[in-house]
Amino acid sequence: MADRSFEVSRLPGFAFTAVTVFLALYLPIFTLVFFSFNAGSVLSVWQGWSLRWYVEAWQNDVVKGAAMRSLLIAASASAIATTLATMAAIGTTRRRRFRGQTAIYAFINQPLMVPEIVTAVALLIFFGVIKSWTGYQGLGYLILAHSAFCVPFAYLPIRARLEGMDLSLETAAADLYASPWQAFRHVTLPLLAPGIAAGAMLAFVISLDDVVITEFVKSAGQDTLPTYMLGQLRRTLTPEVNAISTALLVLTVLLLTAFFLVNRKKD
Amino acid sequence: MSPPPRLSEAEDRQRRAATRNGWLLSAPALVLLFIAASGPLLIVLVYSFLTPGKYGDVSWEFSTSGWVGILFSRDIFDDTLKLADAHLTIFWRSVKLSLLTTAITFALGFPTAWFIATRPPKARALWLFLITIPFWTNLLIRTFAITEIIRNEGILNKVLLAIGVIAAPLRIMNTDTAVLIGMAYVYLPLMVLPLFAAIDRFDMRLLEAGYDLYASRMQVLRHVILPIVRPGIVAGSILVFVPSLGAYVTPRVLGGGKNMMIGNFIELQFGQGRNWPLGAALSIALLIVVMLAMLIYVRAATKEDTPHG
Amino acid sequence: MIKITGTAGPILSVNAAIMARDVTKAFGQGETALKALDNVSCEIRTGEFFTLLGPSGCGKTTLLRLIAGFEMPTAGQILIDGQDVTGQPPNRRAVNTVFQSYALFPHLSVAENVGFGLKMQGRPRAEIAATVREMLALVKLEALAGRRTGQLSGGQQQRVALARALAPRPKVLLLDEPLSALDLKLRKEMQVELKRLQTETGITFVFVTHDQEEALTMSDRIAVMSAGKIQQIGVPREIYTAPVNRFVADFIGETNFIPATAVPGGAKLADGTVLPAEGEGSLLIIRPEQLRLLPAAADGALPATVESVVYFGTDTHVHLALEDGTKLTARVPSPADGHSGHAPGQRIGLGFAPGAARLIRE
Ligand SMILES: Nc1ncnc2c1ncn2[C@@H]1O[C@H](COP(=O)(O)OP(=O)(O)OP(=O)(O)O)[C@@H](O)[C@H]1O
Ligand SMILES: [Mg+2]
C-alpha cells in the first residue's frame, strides 16, 4: 500500500468479490479435472495419481462410439453452418441496404432466443413424423439440427469481420475489371478467412457441447458424449466421467484459444 | 420545383440485383433454419390443440385440453376442473429460482465485471478470457463439476466437517437450493459479459466529477454508475433469466425427480406423462413468456438509447 | 411520370474521352430525395488533365462514381470514348480509379496489387510481370515490389494506388482527392509527380479536389461545381480572371464585390462613378491584388477610408470602406521594413489596374 492516492474506480469489496467469484468458478472445474486422475474408483476419495480412467474410457466401446459421433456431428454441422452463414453474412452486408435485410438478420438469430427445450420438443415431434414416414433413422437428423442452431454462432463473427472490412476494396476490384465472382474469390474471401475460421470454431464448440436438443432428437444408440454422460449421471459415478469431461474441456479450451489468437491477429 | 426523381432503369436494375443477391445468398441458411429450428415450432403450436394419444403422440382431433391442462386438472371421479396445484408449484419454482438466479448472478457479477473492466489492458484481456472459458464450456460438465462439490460426500461437506463447522453433512443435493446454486454457477458468465461491455464503455472521468461534487463511493455507485450501465444490467438479466426459465439440464441433474422446473415438466409430458398436447402447450407458453421478456428488454434498451442519441 | 428534361447536350465532338449528358443523380426517392447531381452535362477531352473543383458535398465524388460505374444515373447518359456505357458495370468500363482511401488490397504484395487489373483481364503472366515492372519504375517503387501494402508510408501507398490504376492502361484515370491524405510537403511533390505521369502516359485524368490552388496549378481545364451543378468550365486563367457568377468568383481566390449597373463601356457605381469594365450583370468584381492605394486627391481615384491593416508577411491586407459603406480589401506588397504606411481612419484614393474590374451576374 505504498500508493495512498484516491483511486476513483475502486469500490469497496468489489475486488474481493471478484476474486472470490473467479475462485468459485474455477474450483469445481479444477476439482473435476483433478479427480479424473484418481486411481481409486470412488469419486471424491483420493487414492493417488493414475491415468486409469482415461484408459478405461478409451477402451469402452460405448464411449468411443459416442466420442466419434460427437466429433462427426460437430465437424459436419460446423462445416454446413459455416458455409451457409458465410453466404448469408455476405448477402446481408456487402451491398447497399435492401428490403428484408433486418428480417433476415432476425430470422438467423432466432435460435438464440428460443429456449432450447422448446426447439428440442419441436424437433422431437417434427423429426418423429419424418422418421416414421421415411423410415430413415440415421445421424442426418442430428446433423441437421446441430447445423441449424450453429448458424447464428458462425454468422455473428463472420458478419462482424465483414462489417469491419472496407467496402471500397471490392469496389476497387470491380474497377480493376474483376467480375463479382472474381472480386469475391480474390479479395473478399482471403480477407474474410479469419472470420470464417472463427465462426467455424465457435460452431464446432457449440455443437460439441449440446445436450438438450441431441437428447430429444437422437434415435436409439445415437448417444453423443454429452448425452452419454447425462445418462451416466443417474448411476453410480466413476471418475470415468471426469476423464471424459476433462478431455472435452481441453478440446474446448484449445479451440477457444485458437479462436482468440485468430481474432487478435487482425488488429 | 422539379418533379421528385424516379428511379432510372439502370438504378432500378442495380437495386433489384442487390435485393435479389442478398436474398439468394441468405436463402440456404434461412431454409435450414426454417426446417430445423423455426418451422417445427408451428407444428408444436398445432399439436397443442390436439387430443393426447393413448400411448403418447396425439390423435388428430381438435381439443383445448392441452392449454386448459396447463393450469387445471380434471377430477377423475366427477370430471370437474380444478386448479392443478402440482403444476402451479412447478411454475412458481421456475419463476422463483430464475429470479433468484438473476439476482445472485447480478450481485456477484457486477463487482466481477467492474473488477475486470478496471484492470490495465493486458491483465483485462486475461481476466476476460478466464470468464469466457466457462461461458463456452459444456453446461453439463459445469453442472457435473458443481455436483461434485455439493454432494453429500462432496468436497464442501468434507471441508466443513473437517474444520468442525458442521457435525453432519449438509444435504443440499436434490433441493431447490442445489438447483439455485447450480444455475447461478452455470449462468454467471452470461451476466458478467454484458455488464463488462457496458462498464467498459463507461467514462471513468464521470466518477471524478461525482466525487468532486461530494458524493460518497456508495452514492456514486447508486447515482452515477448504475444508471449509466443500465442497458448492460438489463441485457445481463435477460440473458440469465431466459435460459434459467427454460433450464433443463441443471434442475435434472441437481434437483432430482422432485424439484422439477418447467423444462423438465415439458419433457415429462413427452415421456412418462404421455400428454403431448400439454407438453406442446407448455412449450408455446414458455416461448411466449420468453418473447415478452425479450420485448421488455428491447424496449428498455431503446428507451435508454434515445436521449443519448 | 414526368421525365426530367434539360438543355440539349453539347455537340458530340470526336475527341471526347468522357461525355456526361444531362446527368441527374438522386439519392432516395420521392419528396425526400436529394439531388447530388442536377442535370449536369460536360465533355472531357482526350488527353487532358480535367479537374472537378467545388466545396464539400457538391457532387464531385458522385460524378466520378457515375463515370466509373459504381452508381447508375437517375437520368441522363454517360459516354466513354463515344460509347454509351450507362448501365454497364464498372468491370466492363475502360476507366480506372485512384481511391481517396487508396483501397489497396492488404493481403497482396505491392506487385500483386499493381498486377491485379491485368490478372482479372486474363492477360498472360509474362505480360503482367513486364507491365508491373514498368509501372513500378514509373512511380519509382521498384525496390518495394515484394512488400505488403500495410508496411508502406502514405506517399508510397499513393504511388502504388496510381501504378495499380495505370497498369491496365485505362482510357481515363479517375482520381478522387488523391492527395488529401498527404502532408503539405508530400502533397506538393505528388502534384508535380502526377502532372509528370499524365504527360508521360498521355492518359486522360479526371481529378477531384476542393483545393483551388491545386486545381489552378495542375489542370488543363477546370469544372467548378456547386450544389450538384457545374457553374463554369474553363482553363484556369479564364476561371480566375473571368468567373461567370458570384459563386465562382468567391470560391476561386478572394474577391471584392461592388454593386453596380452596366452602362455602355463600363459599370456605374452607386455614387455615379463609371469604371471601365467588361462583362455584364449587376455585380462588379475586383481581385484584392488589383487595387491600387493612392493619395486621397489622386486623379480619378475612388475615395475610401482605411478601416484596418493586417500584416501577412509578404503582403499586407488593407481593409477599406467606400463612401456608401461597401467594404473592400486591398492586398499590397509589404515594404522592406514591413510598415505599409497606412493607418485606420486614413482617407485615401482607390485606383484600379486596367482591365481589372469585371461585371458578373449574381
Ligand atoms: N450513397 C449516398 N446516399 C445518400 N446520399 C449520398 C450518397 N452519396 C452521396 N450522397 C450525398 O450527395 C451529395 C454529394 O456527395 P458527394 O460525395 O458527391 O460530394 P463531394 O463533392 O464528393 O464532397 P466531398 O468534397 O466532401 O467529398 C452529398 O450531399 C452527399 O451527402
Ligand atoms: Mg468526395
Ordered strands of the C83-84 beta sheet: C34-45, C16-27, C75-80, C83-84
Residue ranges of chain B assigned to CATH 1.10.3720.10: 85-301
Identify the nearest ligand to the CA of A167 by its number: 1
Q: How many CA atoms lie within 13 A of C223 on its CB side?
A: 25
C58 lines ligand 1 (CB under 6 A): yes
Please, where are the H alpha helices in chain B?
9-33, 39-47, 65-71, 85-117, 121-136, 139-150, 155-162, 176-201, 205-212, 217-220, 226-228, 230-245, 249-255, 262-270, 276-308
Tell me the pLDDT tens digit for each residue of C131-148.
999 999 988 898 999 998
Q: What is the pLDDT of residue A45?
A: 75
Q: Tell me: pLDDT of C332 over 50.
A: yes
Q: What is the pLDDT of residue C3?
A: 35
Please tell me whether residue B52 adopts helix, strand or coil conformation.
Answer: strand
* Closest of C36, C31, C78, C66 to residue B2, by C-alpha: C31
- CATH code given to domain C254-360: 2.40.50.140
Q: Are C22 and C52 in contact (CB under 8 A)?
A: no
CB contact under 8 A, A122 and B249: no
The residue count for chain C: 362
Q: Are B278 and B70 in contact (CB under 8 A)?
A: yes
Please tell me whether residue C310 adopts helix, strand or coil conformation.
Answer: strand
Which of C72, C85, C229 to mutate: most B Cβ within 10 Å?
C72
Question: Whole-angstrom Cα distance, residue B57 to residue B273?
Answer: 11
For residue C66, count CB atoms less than 10 angstroms from its CB and return exposed for 0-12, middle for 13-18, buried for 19 or more. Answer: buried
* Closest of A207, A84, A202 to residue B34, by C-alpha: A84
Q: Class of the B85-301 domain?
A: mainly alpha
- pLDDT beneath 70: ranges in chain B: 1-7, 211, 301-309
Q: How confident is the model at residue C8 (pLDDT cuts 50, 70, 90)?
A: very low
Rg of chain A's alpha carbons, rounded to an integer? 23
| Predicted ipTM of the assembly | 0.88
Element (H, E) at A52: helix A52-59
Question: Whole-angstrom Cα distance, residue C308 to residue C317?
Answer: 8
Q: Tell me: pLDDT of C164 over 70.
A: yes
Q: At the fourth CATH level, which superfamily is domain C3-94+170-246? A: P-loop containing nucleotide triphosphate hydrolases (3.40.50.300)
Enumerate the domain spans of chain C.
3-94+170-246, 254-360
Three cell numbers at C242? 473571368
B11 CB neighbours in chain C (<8 A) are 71-74
Question: Whole-angstrom Cα distance, residue C236 to residue C252?
Answer: 10
Tell me the pLDDT tens digit for each residue of C301-321.
888 899 999 888 888 899 999
Enumerate the domain spans of chain A.
53-263
* Closest of A208, A39, A198, A104 to residue B23, by C-alpha: A104
Q: What is the pLDDT of residue B308?
A: 42
pTM across the whole model: 0.81
Residue C99 has its nearest CB partner, among A168, A186, A187, at: A168
Q: Mean pLDDT in chain C?
A: 87
Q: Tell me: pLDDT of C11 over 60.
A: no
Which of A10, A11, A257 to mutate: most B Cβ within 10 Å?
A11
Three cell numbers at A22? 473467479
Q: What is the pLDDT of residue B304?
A: 53
Q: At the fourth CATH level, which superfamily is domain A53-263? A: MetI-like (1.10.3720.10)
CB contact under 8 A, C86 and B10: yes
Three cell numbers at C197? 505521369
Q: What is the pLDDT of residue C7?
A: 39
Q: Tell me: pLDDT of C223 over 70.
A: yes
Q: Which chains touch A (3 or more CB pairs under 8 A)?
A: B, C
Q: What is the pLDDT of residue B27?
A: 94
Question: Whole-angstrom Cα distance, residue C96 to residue C76?
Answer: 21
Question: Whole-angstrom Cα distance, residue B227 to residue B202?
Answer: 11
C48 secondary structure, DSSP code: -
Q: How confident is the model at residue C22 (pLDDT cuts 50, 70, 90)?
A: very high
Please give chain A's pLDDT, 267 residues, in tens: 445 556 667 777 888 999 999 999 999 999 999 988 988 877 777 888 888 888 888 888 999 999 999 999 999 999 999 999 999 999 988 777 778 888 898 899 888 889 999 999 999 999 999 999 998 989 999 999 999 999 999 998 898 888 888 888 999 999 999 998 999 999 999 999 988 998 898 899 999 989 999 999 999 889 999 999 998 877 777 888 889 999 999 998 898 888 888 776 544
Q: How far is B9 from chain C (nearest CA, A)?
A: 8
Question: Whole-angstrom Cα distance, residue B103 to residue A212?
Answer: 25
Instruction: Tell how far the Cα of C210 is from the centroid of ligand 2, in angstroms.
Output: 9
